[in-house]
A and B are shown apart, each in its own frame.
Chain A
């Protein structure tokens, strides 16, 4: 069977998105190494790098790297705190542009999306013209550059968008897919994590070609379901569809403290703050969740999770907080200071088709109040209106 353009998938990935926006908004930052992420605090900071501008990358700085490490590598870099609201406004503009090309868009993150353009590619005069048009429109409207990869599957399109970054356009026609993949290292395969790559290397598999030629049975034995999946990816086979909106399975938020804490009052107020964030997101998406999760990481990085399933799904801050607090109390006296605390809700159900409650009147009043808070916060920022108890948590985070 000869591969064909049965499907045309484009992967659009913004280049150094957060850093590029900072440089766009602040012309004095252009051409300089800009690192968006946690406060490095002279090398003692504790968060991670969100995005490094292309000027910072030669120093070895990349995203997800501890900020302290980035500071060692690039002490003269310009460190910026992320401005979520600003990036979101750019992100909305970009997705609006993508919708000009196809309605079938899968948003992966604020700066990344898959487009199924199989039905619309002919309207734009073919694959190459379509790719160029996407890039040009984004640049014209926002001043930012994007890298675009186009192929006949999501997996190859994603690899292609990364192939000539920044400002790249890489088209891998079906007949070229295998040669393109064969030459790559397995690290490039979408879904091959650090552990998997290490384990593959132990089998002597370093390139995609070696993976493709490796006996499938052995891979299956070694990696379980992941084995055949990787083997398929190595042969350019990826049947995954572009899903407009993947059903979300859970919502969670967590926070790492500037210093480790065992002050219960502060930790409780942080829980409330996180519960508020989680419930806001649930309400925005019209979901309720049944299982509430609490995550604690102590100074020695030992991590514990506890959860509780409720009789009825909720999206109220009050309920989520109440459960988290109770779960937290189950830990008893804290023997070690806490480094990270997280709150999550899973087992989500949509509002339609759900059992109504006699307290709906009461809950609706609460929900209306919480929705009003959501709106005010959107307008005036988190500090505008909040549960009084979260103030301790805010203050301490500001200090840190």
Chain B
């Protein structure tokens, strides 16, 4: 294998794949990045066996071939070089020489035949989404995933397709976030997958610009095809919870409030809440809501009143302010509708304005008050 390429170009491609390299691994091969030079393309591939990322970049290829090279080392040396032309040359024993006007760096490579193969997706179903939509589908839900290994399904985002609609759902049992997007081009038949937060964070990082992303969903893997980047994620093979059961069909009251005012107020007041419970209490009245927090141990206390519209008389409910803030941060609408049932039931948060074809719903469970 022999090729030359500008430093900035290979560095950008390498950065995309190198972050997937596992910090430690029982399989030494996965510490490598696979280089494949073919036609006028250089393909870089790295994997931690859960996620595989492939990045493509144009290069002047003199001799086609491939090699597996220690990923961090090659990344670190290229990072330290300015934007000059770099030449790569691999001998028959996979020893690879990187040369530039600064000098020569030799690194022992490995037989590319031993590098883990990328997953085969047979009978996959393809959907295509604008990058902006995919970004929202992931960003608006991923924060609500669970870290609880006891329920692996909840550590990922649930992708649910059917009826020309794609819906993403994430929940950890305390809050639930759901975003739906409707498009005639989306499949009518049902199709589901749970994708790990780790894979989706890589997807978010690679989603730049306006373009389109094609998603291929198979039995065991999903493939995200973005511009110059291909990502394979092993699916979380579990049944997702029946989340529809926990979404209340009917509510008793509605509060309408300015999202930003609400968030700013909760942020300020929660500084005075007990660090253990992070509890803030909302006392909602006809035209205003009082947000109150108290730290009994240290004597701190804060109270604010902000305007709202409420169709009940008085309603008192407590929340973990971290959860509440997190949810409010993911609502873009200027006005927010909060639907309430009883102080020990979930509240529904629904944005008043939303992009066309889109539906957003969040649920938050309260803290049991004494």
**Could you tell me which A residues sit within 8 Å of B by CB distance?**
310-312, 319, 322-323, 351-361
Bound-state CA distance A351–B148 (Å) is 20
Bound-state CA distance A38–B369 (Å) is 46
Does the CB pair A312–B370 fall under 8 Å?
no
Residues in A whose Cβ lies below 8 Å from that of B241: 359
Residues in A whose Cβ lies below 8 Å from that of B351: none
Does the CB pair B346–A355 fall under 8 Å?
no
B95 interface residue, CB < 8 Å from A? no
**Chain B facing A: main interface SS:** loop
Bound-state CA distance A361–B320 (Å) is 20
Residues in A whose Cβ lies below 8 Å from that of B146: 311
Beyond A353-B369, A361-B246, 6 extra complex contacts between A and B, CB < 8 Å: A323-B150, A353-B368, A356-B174, A357-B365, A358-B246, A360-B365
> 17 A-B pairs, CB-CB below 8 angstroms?
A310-B150, A311-B146, A311-B147, A311-B150, A312-B173, A353-B367, A354-B367, A355-B174, A355-B320, A355-B323, A355-B367, A355-B368, A356-B368, A358-B173, A358-B363, A358-B365, A359-B246
Residues in B whose Cβ lies below 8 Å from that of A354: 367-368
**Could you tell me which B residues sit within 8 Å of A by CB distance?**
146-148, 150, 171-174, 176, 241, 245-246, 277, 279, 320, 323, 344, 346, 363, 365-370
Residues in A whose Cβ lies below 8 Å from that of B368: 351-356
Does the CB pair A311–B246 fall under 8 Å?
no
Minimum CB distance partner of B242 in chain A: A362
Residues in A whose Cβ lies below 8 Å from that of B172: 311
Q: What's the A-B contact tally at a CB cutoff of 8 Å?
A: 54
Bound-state CA distance A360–B366 (Å) is 12
Which 3 interchain pairs have the tightest Cβ spacing? Answer: A311-B148, A358-B246, A357-B173
Interface centre among A310, A323, A360, by most chain B C-beta atoms within 10 angstroms, is A360
Residues in A whose Cβ lies below 8 Å from that of B344: 356
Given contacts A311-B148, A358-B346, contact A353 B277 (CB under 8 A): yes
Minimum CB distance partner of B364 in chain A: A358
Minimum CB distance partner of B363 in chain A: A358
Residues in B whose Cβ lies below 8 Å from that of A311: 146-148, 150, 172
Minimum CB distance partner of B346 in chain A: A358
Minimum CB distance partner of A356 in chain B: B365
Bound-state CA distance A312–B171 (Å) is 13
Contact partner of A353 (CB less than 8 A), chosen from B171, B346, B370, is B370
Residues in B whose Cβ lies below 8 Å from that of A323: 150
Does the CB pair B150–A319 fall under 8 Å?
yes
Bound-state CA distance A312–B149 (Å) is 11
Bound-state CA distance A73–B13 (Å) is 81
User: Distance (Å) between the CB of A191 and the closest chain B CB?
Assistant: 29
User: Distance (Å) between the CB of B152 and the closest chain A CB?
Assistant: 12
Does the CB pair B174–A357 fall under 8 Å?
yes
User: Distance (Å) between the CB of B209 and the closest chain A CB?
Assistant: 36
Residues in B whose Cβ lies below 8 Å from that of A356: 174, 344, 365-368
Does the CB pair A358–B171 fall under 8 Å?
yes
User: Distance (Å) between the CB of B30 and the closest chain A CB?
Assistant: 23
Residues in A whose Cβ lies below 8 Å from that of B246: 358-359, 361
Bound-state CA distance A182–B318 (Å) is 57
Minimum CB distance partner of A352 in chain B: B370
Given contacts A311-B147, A319-B150, contact A359 B173 (CB under 8 A): yes
